[in-house]
């Protein structure tokens, strides 16, 4: 069993929809939680970073962490065609090691 499991997708939504992307994890040593966006043939870029349970908002993006359930989510409001990409969750352990999910591919249709 993988340490980080991510909803596989693919996900296709109409423009303006609210998107929910989810990951679960099994390692209690994970302390820091991130969401990356990866466009085709590009490297991942960091979208959101948080270390505590609760919500963190940045523009149209909200990251949610529930450490008791070992579950994290990324919500995208008013989704745009430019949001079409693969979204990767990633976690850093207290030893500083990063582990990524396998990504969810999102397509936002105009």
Partner 1 sequence: EAGVAQSPRYKIIEKRQSVAFWCNPISGHATLYWYQQILGQGPKLLIQFQNNGVVDDSQLPKDRFSAERLKGVDSTLKIQPAKLEDSAVYLCASSLRQGQGNEQFFGPGTRLTVL
Regarding 92 and contact with partner 1 (CB under 8 A), the answer is: yes
DSSP state of 1: -
- Identify which range of 11-19, 59-67, 74-82, 92-100 contacts partner 1 by CB under 8 A: 92-100
Q: How many of the chain's residues bind partner 1 (CB under 8 A)?
A: 25
Regarding 96 and contact with partner 1 (CB under 8 A), the answer is: yes
- Identify which range of 14-22, 64-72, 74-82, 94-102 contacts partner 1 by CB under 8 A: 94-102
- SS3 at position 104: strand
Close Cβ partners of 89 (under 8 Å, ≥ 6 residues apart): 4, 6, 21, 23, 33, 34, 35, 36, 72, 74, 100, 101
Close Cβ partners of 85 (under 8 Å, ≥ 6 residues apart): 37, 38, 39, 40, 105, 106
Regarding 109 and contact with partner 1 (CB under 8 A), the answer is: no
Judged by CB under 8 A, the chain residues 18 through 77 that form the site for partner 1 are 31-32, 41-46, 49, 51
Q: Give the residues lining the site for partner 1 (CB under 8 A).
A: 4, 6, 31-32, 41-46, 49, 51, 88, 90, 92, 94-103
């Amino acid at each position: 069993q993988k340490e980080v499991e991510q909803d596989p997708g693919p996900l296709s939504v109409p423009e303006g929809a609210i998107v929910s992307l989810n990951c679960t994890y099994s390692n209690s040593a994970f302390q820091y939680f991130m969401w990356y966006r990866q466009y085709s043939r590009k490297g991942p870029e960091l979208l959101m970073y948080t270390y505590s349970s609760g919500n963190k908002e940045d523009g149209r993006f909200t990251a949610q962490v529930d450490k008791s359930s070992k579950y994290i989510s990324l919500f995208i409001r008013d989704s745009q065609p430019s949001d079409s990409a693969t979204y990767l969750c990633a976690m850093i352990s207290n030893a500083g090691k990063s582990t990524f999910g396998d990504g969810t591919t999102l397509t936002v249709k105009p």
